[in-house]
Amino acid sequence: MPETITIAVRPDLPSADAQRSLASWLRADDRLRDGVTTTPPTDETSTDGTDVLRLAIGDAGTVMVLVQAVASWLTHRREDVTVQLVLPGGSSAELDVRRARDMDQVTALVEAAVRAVAPK
């Protein structure tokens, strides 16, 4: 049964629409498209009142696709962002990325964060 990872994005610049940008980026990948939904935050997922993304993760392959997609998105951003990943059980990981440019470094960070919350 797939787990759902909640993804919240908080841009350092209030005018940036990072959440919508990441949702579009993930939906552009055929392997993730059907699993991405946008929902209003709950008490457990609320970060700053913005909508959160939910992504169904069914296997290790999907987790790696998510890692690569988020890392790629982060290296294409011009703003600083914080990405928070949360599982329904409450385990979470947070990435604070400052104008990332090194894809390998960002991929390693995202992979560590996703592994921290991904289903075993």
Q: What percent of the chain has pLDDT over 90?
A: 4
1 has a pLDDT exceeding 70:
no
Give tens-digit pLDDT for 46-65: 555 556 788 887 777 787 88
Which has more confidence, 103 or 76? 76
Contacts of 92 (CB under 8 A, 6+ apart): 84, 85, 86, 116, 117
Predicted local distance difference test score (pLDDT) of residue 44: 53
Its pTM stands at 0.74
